[in-house]
Amino acid sequence: MTVTRFAPSPTGRLHVGNIRTALHNWMLAQKAGGQFVLRIDDTDAERSREEYVAAIREDLAWLGIDWDREERQSARLDRYEAAFDTLRAAGRIYPAYETQQELELKRKVLLGRGLPPIYDRGALKLTEEERAAKEADGVQPHWRFKLDHDKPIGWDDGVRGKQKFDPAQLSDPVIRRADGSWLYMLPSTVDDVDMGVTQVLRGEDHVSNTAVQIQMFHAMGATPPDFAHEALLVGKEGKLSKRLGSLGCEAFRERGIEPAAIIALLARLGTSLPVEPIVDGAVLLETFDLSTFGRAPAKFDDAELERVNTAIVHAMPFDEVKDRLPDGMDEAGWHAVQPNISTVGEVGEWWRLVTGPIERVEFAEEDRAYLGQAATVLAWSADPWRDLTSSLKDKTGRKGKGLFLPLRQALTGMNHGPDMGELLPLIGEEAARRRLERAAAG
């Protein structure tokens, strides 16, 4: 069975990049009839917050991304300890004593020589006496995973194709801090083994992590999952945008963006498929394929999201939005204003044209006489707007803008807006005549 996972750290709200990763992993599982695991990476006790765990669940649920099971890393510390002990006994984990300043100095020296800043394994050269002396001085070690330099690392990436790494060109990663807390690498690998994860889809910034973790899988006697690394999101200018880190579901909700619009955009962002206002999840799933993912940066454009959102709002049926509409607004009202809005939240402003009050427009004397005639001519029927304008055209000889615009301004207080043929029946005969008479009176 295909098992994918999304593993956010509850140290903040989800941003658009996280959401895209969650969505794509969910779609992989859905398309294969598999399972999608929500794994809360909360080993960082100082920064992790339960309020962010709740927010992650809320945001995913709002988007319609459901999970088959939830796991918490904070509940699995004994498993990481056991794996640590096993790997240490096998000689794959060793203590290192350099301070951050010492490591930074080594890095600068290597860069100054034009060499890659790879850890020199200085800790492995220490004798037992030297290690004991450091610990006697109160220096607590951090812990590194020892890469096997004799075994080249390679995998067939679902997006990037064949990948090869020389482990000698990678630093032995720090997996545990001096205070005993865990970094990302080992717990994530242990979790993927224990949870039966078969496919890992994540950002291309994790490619070198994958190379390291593949050796961890092998060191634990486990088969690595299939890996795929998608291009990262960038702003429309083609640069990594700090703003993308602040764009999340909370911001989208405040702007009135529909979940379906976010899904439609992010499902195809970075692929060769066109972004379209598709609300049918089955269609998006049917066309979802890693072979369509490109290597070029995926450009997130707010204007494109708004375009998709507007198209989706324009197609939304009344039953889907009725609980979000102003009191008294029925299906006819929704249908009348729907083409003029880009978010459902804008409905109230347009509904005010029906319920009032409306803006008062100053008319020339000629137009006031015309509107007075309109108030007299107005007669209710199955299509009062067509009958009113036809009658006025015959009686006054007006046509085009001169015929229609003063009527719209008198009836709505605006120069543009919903189709008057749909709006006038909603305003009603009494209110419409009153507005025409008021405009005629000046």
Separation CA 12–CA 8 (nearest Å):
9
pLDDT at residue 239, rounded to an integer: 67
SS3 293: strand
Separation CA 3–CA 228 (nearest Å):
14
From the list 310, 298, 301, 309, the residue with the least C-alpha distance to 259 is 309
Per-residue pLDDT 10s for the chain (442 aa) are 999 999 999 999 999 999 999 999 999 999 999 999 999 999 998 899 999 999 999 999 999 999 999 999 999 999 999 999 999 999 999 999 999 999 999 999 999 999 999 999 999 999 999 999 999 999 999 999 999 999 999 999 999 999 999 999 999 999 999 999 999 999 999 999 999 999 999 999 999 999 999 999 999 999 999 999 999 999 877 766 667 777 899 999 999 999 999 999 999 999 999 999 999 999 999 999 999 999 999 999 999 999 999 999 999 999 999 999 999 999 999 999 999 999 999 999 999 999 999 999 999 999 999 999 999 999 999 999 999 999 999 999 999 999 999 999 999 999 999 999 999 999 999 999 999 999 999 8
Q: Token digits for 242?
A: 């700090």
Q: Which residues of 137-150 are buried (b: 16+ CB within 10 A; e: fewer)?
A: eeeebbbbbbbeee
Q: Token digits for 217?
A: 């899988």
Question: Are 242 and 214 contacting, i.e. CB atoms less than 8 angstroms apart?
Answer: no
Separation CA 194–CA 182 (nearest Å):
17
| Torsions phi, psi for 35 (to 5 deg) | -120, 145
Q: From residue 428, how far is each of 240, 243, 305, 388 by CA, in Å?
A: 53, 47, 37, 13
Average per-residue pLDDT for the chain: 96
DSSP 389-441: HHHHHHHH---HHHHHHHHHHHHHSSSS-S-HHHHHHHH-HHHHHHHHHHHHH
Strands 142-145 and 174-176: antiparallel
Set out the domains of the chain in order of their start, with CATH numbers: 3-70+186-233 (3.40.50.620), 80-176 (3.90.800.10), 242-315 (1.10.1160.10), 321-442 (1.10.10.350)
From the list 290, 153, 225, 208, the residue with the least C-alpha distance to 4 is 225
Q: Is the pTM of this model over 0.85?
A: yes
Alpha-carbon 79 to chain mean position: 32
Looking up tokens 């918490």, which residue turns up? 72
Separation CA 197–CA 36 (nearest Å):
9
